[in-house]
Amino acid sequence: MIQNGRETRVRARDHLFVQGDRNTHIYLVKSGMLKAYYVRADGRQHIKSFLPEGSIIGSMVALVDHDPCTFNLVAIENGSVIALPFGRLKEEAGRDIGLANILVDFLSAYGKRKERREYELLSLSPDERYSVLLETMPDVADRITQADLAAYIGVTPQALSRIKRRIRTPATFEANWCRS
């Protein structure tokens, strides 16, 4: 990606693409952080993921089927990304077994992340989702706004404040968790 991609500086609040765009690039976050999110019918955001340095993202439906992107991708910190047309990567992977294996590894990791996120949203309570975030991405949790953190775990900012109070008091969290 670094050799064949195009580096672009991004500022906080710059969108790389929005829902409905036809964007066939994949992005490597070189510095800063991105946020992938959906906009609900009521205008509220549902955050799909946060992407710190070293992360790679693209809209799979746009990359594979050339359909419109289903989510928005925005910078939440100043930084830079490397953009590469997915078609070029696919072409090169067809000629280079090493690159093809890297692509398979990336897609496997991507699938695992998606499955874990789906499990969290469908099977865990908001308290548990918050705990998982703190455990798996503590550096990310410190870099995002409370509103974004709440949207990521699927609660209001007020509910997040209550969750944080319960988490700081483990006995209370355990008692509440055991009741559910």
Q: What is the CATH number of the domain that holds 27?
A: 2.60.120.10
Write down the pLDDT at residue 144.
Answer: 94
Hey, CA dihedral for 22, 27, 31, 33, is it positive or negative? positive
Rounded distance, CA 98 to CA 86, Å? 17
Q: Pick the last residue of a domain from 105, 136, 151.
A: 105
Residue 167 shares a structural domain with residue 85: no
Residue 75 has pLDDT above 70, yes or no: yes
Helix (H) or strand (E) holding 111: helix 97-123
What range does the domain containing 166 cover?
124-180
Identify the DSSP state of 100: H
The predicted model gives 48-57 an average pLDDT of 95
Nearest by Cα to 160 from 29, 47, 8: 47
Residue 169 is predicted with a pLDDT of 58
- Tell me what pLDDT residue 4 has: 81
* Residue ending a domain, choose from 55, 75, 105: 105
Regarding whether 96 and 137 lie in a shared domain, the answer is no
Of 78, 105, 132, which closes a domain?
Answer: 105
**Total structural domains in the chain?**
2
Confidence band (pLDDT; 50, 70, 90) for 142? confident
Each residue's pLDDT tens digit, 9-38: 999 999 999 999 999 999 999 999 999 999
Give the global pTM: 0.86
C-alpha to C-alpha distance for 5 and 92, rounded to whole angstroms = 13
Domain co-membership, 13 together with 95: yes
C-alpha 73/C-alpha 60 separation (Å) is 13
Pair 25, 72 in one domain: yes
- Least Cα distance to 16 among 84, 89, 67 occurs for 84
**Pair 93, 164 in one domain:** no
Q: Within a domain: residue 110? A: no
Average pLDDT of the residues of the chain: 91
